[in-house]
Structure 1
Amino acid sequence: MVSDSGLSPHGVVPPLVTPLDEHGEVDRRSLERLVSYQLDAGVDGVFVGGSSGEIALLDTAQRRMAVEVTTSTVAGAVPVLVGAVDTGTRRVIEHARQAARLGADAVVVTAPFYIQPHPAEIVAHFRYVREAVDVPVVAYDIPSAVGARLTPEIVTELADAKTVVALKDSSGDLASFREILRRTDLPTLSGSELFADIAIELGAAGLVPGLGNVDPHGYVRLHRAVRDGDIAAARAEQDRLARLFRIVSVADRGRIGFTAGALGAFKAALALRGVIDCPATNLPLSPLSPAETDAIAAVLNDQGL
């Protein structure tokens, strides 16, 4: 089923949150507004079903609805990347085939997890997925969630075999990131909100920042500034975005986990900006308190948003 679409992800590709209503169902109208908000900002693609989209928590109906709404709203304007993330190869293939049927331009795949795979098993996992679907595969390195690393050696093998068309790097390991750029010509996308300017300067093909949900315009400006050689402007934009990123630290960690605090902050900020209607996150994530939401509003006001 393998085909070559020539897809080369690049630029700013925000990993969309999944707006939910008060009953926990995907809020179609809010997601449509979120996608339109991204397109109006000039993004180069969107990623649905990533970590910011709560992929590990979505049920089958939620996942399907999120992909359907995103692909129909984008309507071919930019590539749509869809997460196919699960514990094992057969499950990932099932998700990937569904995403392809719903119009995904590529699927984004992590190493298998829970099973503590050997590097050779990780390589085989990607090969099996690639052979099973007729859309390109983007490798996703997020060891904080998966446990296993996509090391430079693994990524080089995947790149040399043309198993994947790009890498999304959320490892936080700048040395490994640089080594991958040195060893391969694989388009590499950085998931860092705080080192976005440095990643592009080093040769990253693009950015996949969760904060891009809230301020896609800022990341588009940053990317264009680096591309145009205006490093001072890029640094200033990165500093402003770093101040905005403080919203993920508002939640009381004695009461709520990091993921609930960060994704809740993104959704609260989007609700405050009028992009989505409800800031609800999926079970079992706890909601932000009214005081925490007020603190997020204060940060938005400080940054002119």
Structure 2
Amino acid sequence: MKLMAAAVGVKTDVIGKFGIMAASKLQGIFTPNLVPYTADGGINEGELRRYADWLIARGVHGLYPNGSTGEFTRFTPEERRRIVAILADQVRGRVPILAGAAEANVKETIRACEYYASLGIRAVAIVAPFYYKLSPASVYAYFAEIGRNTPIDVTLYNIPMFASPIDVPTIQRLSEEFERIVAIKDSSGDIPHMIRMIQAVRPNRPDFAFLTGWDAALMPMLLAGCDGGTNASSGVVPELTRRLYDLTVSYQIDEARRVQYDLIRLFDTMIYSAEFPEGFRAAVGLRGFQMGQGRQPLSDKQKTDLGTLSRELQCMLSAHGFTDQPVGGCSLPAGTEAQPDAADVTAIVRQVVAELSRRGLM
């Protein structure tokens, strides 16, 4: 299962200032993929492999396992490594993988970096220390220790709602002192903060990548200078997230704005309909995957309103010309650019009949 680094399709550019061969910049949409569960709560390897293939086929630029959406804190260290190993084996260089490598302490985090490097993973993402609220000096010291010892490129992960924040001076200092620290994923949704980071870092590190983890601001973040995003919605509607990225970077602003508005509606439905990330898990299930029951027990009141979520997802897919999953709720509006052909109509009819039969209505 071990893959050589060259096998992942990473383009190398020039020798960096510390003598490290610089790889291509992280950019585009990296999907923070969910993990399907078996009936007994284990990792459903077959469904995970199928899900990865589906995401790649529908246009995402890369995969991001072991992130917040992927519930990394609910897996053991061994399970986290297995998830990445499965994806590395399945992907085989078709897209880069940005693997979450955060562990409970710096020693174990560096060990995770070493293991993921042995798989040929493109880069790792490491959240700032969590549980304990640390000062900027401590956050710097933590990442500096990783920067000195990592054999793989590192993406800083700023998510201040769950972990110690990474402030702009700390990001600037780390970017200038450690060439292996190549990017930051910011999930604060704070556009001025992103602009301040870009202004502070990019003049001295033009290769440094800025990724946003907040779906509701993907378009304005890209326009502000971000290189891409790690967006949970791309695990549900990869077609639309990729379309939004392409429209924005090509400055088709009016159309991009329409897609961004639609994504916000879906994002709000998924994030507020249940405990995170249960809404996203339910939506992926509606697109045809057996996600299983999550590891976090939920009360009846916390369970997702699948009817509302199904209608929201179906309406969005129909409005943008995607008709394969799921069925019911909306029809294609007149003038939609991707009209269904005869095969599409036959498939939809079969799905509707099957759904009606399942509900005992036929």
Q: What's the TM-score, normalizing by structure 2?
A: 0.76
Deviations 1:97-137 (A, max 9, x none): 22222332111111112333222221221122123221100
The 2-side partners of 1:131 and 1:287 are apart by 48
Q: Where does residue 130 of structure 1 map in the other structure?
A: 147
Indicate how the Cα distance of structure 1 residues 291 and 39 shifts in structure 2: closer, same or farther if over 3 A, else same: closer
Larger relative contact order (CA 8 Å, sep ≥ 6)? 1
Partner of 2:15: none
* One-letter amino acid of the counterpart of residue 268, structure 1: A
- Structure 1 CA distance for aligned equivalents of residues 125 and 172 of structure 2: 17
Aligned 8 A contact 1:13 1:44 in 2: yes
1:196: Cα distance to partner? 0.5
Within the candidate set 19, 30, 38, 1:13 is matched to 30
Output the amino acid matched with 1:158.
L
Selected match of 1:114 from 102, 107, 131: 131
Instruction: Output the amino acid matched with 2:50.
Output: R
The aligned runs of 1:1-305 (5 Å cut-off) are 3-146=20-163, 148-161=164-177, 162-185=179-202, 186-245=208-267, 246-251=269-274, 261-274=275-288, 276-284=289-297, 292-303=305-316, 304=318
| 3-state SS, counterpart of residue 152 of structure 2 | coil
Q: Shift in Å at residue 302 of structure 1?
A: 2.3
User: Matched residue of 1:262: which SS?
Assistant: coil
- Which segments of 5 or more consecutive residues in structure 2 lack a partner in the other structure? 1-18, 203-207, 319-324, 326-362
Contact 2:125 2:155 (C-alpha < 8 Å) held by counterparts: yes
- Deviation of residue 279 (structure 1)? 3.8
For the residue of structure 2 that corresponds to 1:77, the secondary structure is coil
Using the TM superposition, give the Cα deviation of residue 190 of structure 1 relative to its aligned residue in structure 2, in angstroms: 0.6
* Distance across 2 between alignment mates of 1:169 and 1:300: 26
1:166-225 alpha-carbon deviations (Å, 9 max, x no partner): 110101222211100111123100111111100000110001111110011111111111
- Counterpart residue type for residue 95 of structure 2: V
Cα distance in 1, alignment partners of residues 281 and 300 from structure 2: 10
1:79: Cα distance to partner? Answer: 1.0
Q: Quick check: 2:49–2:86 contact (8 Å CA) kept in 1?
A: yes
Q: Secondary structure at the match of 1:56?
A: helix
Q: Which amino acid aligns with 1:278?
A: M
The one-letter code sitting in structure 1 at the alignment partner of 2:147 is R
Q: Deviations over 1:30-58 (max 9, x none)?
A: 11121111111222111110001101111
| Cα 1:128/1:168, change in 2 over 3 Å | same
Asked whether the 8 Å contact 1:3–1:134 carries over to 2, the reply is no
- Counterpart of 1:209 in structure 2: which amino acid? N
Cα 1:83/1:243, change in 2 over 3 Å: same
Q: Judge which range, 24-33 or 285-294, deviates more.
A: 285-294
**Which runs of 5 or more structure 1 residues have no equivalent in the other structure?**
252-260
2:349 maps to: none
In the aligned structure 1, how far is the partner of 2:165 from the partner of 2:241? 27
State the distance in 2 between where 1:286 and 1:65 align: 30
* Change over 3 Å in CA distance of 1:115–1:197 after alignment to 2: same
Q: Which amino acid aligns with 2:271?
A: V
Distance 1:163 1:121 in 2: 19
Deviation at 1:60, TM superposition (A): 2.7
Per the alignment, do residues 283 and 100 of structure 1 end up closer, same or farther by CA in structure 2, a change over 3 Å counting? farther
Query: Distance in 1 between the 2:291 and 2:67 partners?
Result: 19
Indicate how the Cα distance of structure 1 residues 63 and 298 shifts in structure 2: closer, same or farther if over 3 A, else same. Answer: same
The question of whether the paired residues in 2 share the 8 Å contact of 1:105 and 1:136 is answered with: yes
Residues 189 and 217 of structure 2 are in contact (CA less than 8 Å); yes or no, is this contact kept in structure 1?
A: no
Contact 1:3 1:135 in 2 (8 A): no
Amino acid at match of 1:69: I
Task: Classify 1:288/1:7 alpha carbon distance in 2 versus 1 (closer, same or farther; 3 Å).
Answer: farther
Superposition RMSD in Å = 2.0
CA distance in 2, matches of 1:149, 1:87: 17
Shift of 1:5: 4.2
